[in-house]
Every structure is written in C-alpha cells, then in structure tokens.
Amino acid sequence: MKKLVPILWLVSLLAGCAQLPPAPQPYTEPTREASPTRQSAVDLLQQEADRALKDANYPLAIETLQRAIRIEPRNPYSWHYLGLTYLAMGDLTRCRAMADRSDGFAAVDDQLADLNSRLRNRCAED
C-alpha cells in the first residue's frame, strides 16, 4: 500500500493539471452585420469608385471597379456600379451589358435586380 500512495498522488496531480479541450462550437458563417466596422477590399474599392463617379472622374471609377472585379469577379454590385459609370459616360451598350452581368450574379437579390432593371431602362431612354 505504501508503494501505491506516491503513484496515486502522482496520478491525482497529473489529473488536476490536465485540461479538457473546449467543446467544439458549431460553425457559423460570418456575416457583414456581425462586424460592421470591417470592410473588404472590394467594399473599399466600390466606395472609392463611387467618389470618383460623383467627381465625374470616369476613368478612375472604371479602373477602380475593374480592380474590384479582379478581386471578386462574381460581385454583382461592382458590375452594377460599372454600369452606372458607363451610363454617366453615355456608353449605353456597355451600360446594358454591365446591368445584365450584374443580374447574372445577383441570384435572389430582388432589390439589386430592381436596380439593374431601372439601370437598363435609363440606358434605353438616353
């Protein structure tokens, strides 16, 4: 029995030091609402393009949106903003093409689909 006491003491000491790993948490995909202060590079480029468009600096707006599209080619908003830029420049053919491309990536975003429809109508009016 005397030989078992040090072994039992050692086992209880080691058991007290051991920590169980944390229970696994279910994966939840991050959303933009969860971290409103964190913006992606594409978001920042879209904002920069919007400022350039408001300043009538169309070449800068196009260049900035093309950079955003190279980063995230399926982002429907970049294509929509590019269509707005072409509308402002008077390039109605490209304007309609960008609205169509945006619709192709918008999936079930009804609000963006409505904006694209309005953009196409404005391209047809001019």
Transcribe 67-89 into DSSP letters.
HHHHH-TT-HHHHHHHHHHHHHH
- Residue 104 falls inside a structural domain: yes
* Domains held by the chain: number: 1
Report how far residue 15's alpha carbon sits from residue 26's, in angstroms, rounded to the nearest whole number. 28
- Block residue for tokens 């975003």: 109
pLDDT tens readout for residues 107-116: 888 898 899 9
Task: Tell me if 121 is assigned to some domain.
Answer: yes
* Domain membership of residue 84 as a residue range: 39-125
CATH code of the domain containing 63: 1.25.40.10
Say how far apart CA 92 and CA 126 lie, in whole Å: 8
Q: Per the domain annotation, does 107 fall within a domain?
A: yes
Q: What is the pLDDT of residue 106?
A: 84
> Measuring CA to CA, how many Å separate 92 from each of 33, 49, 89?
35, 19, 8
Domain assignment of residue 120, yes or no: yes
Over residues 2-24, the pLDDT tens digits come to 565 666 655 665 665 555 555 55
Q: Would you say residue 18 lies in a domain?
A: no
Q: What is the pTM of this model?
A: 0.68
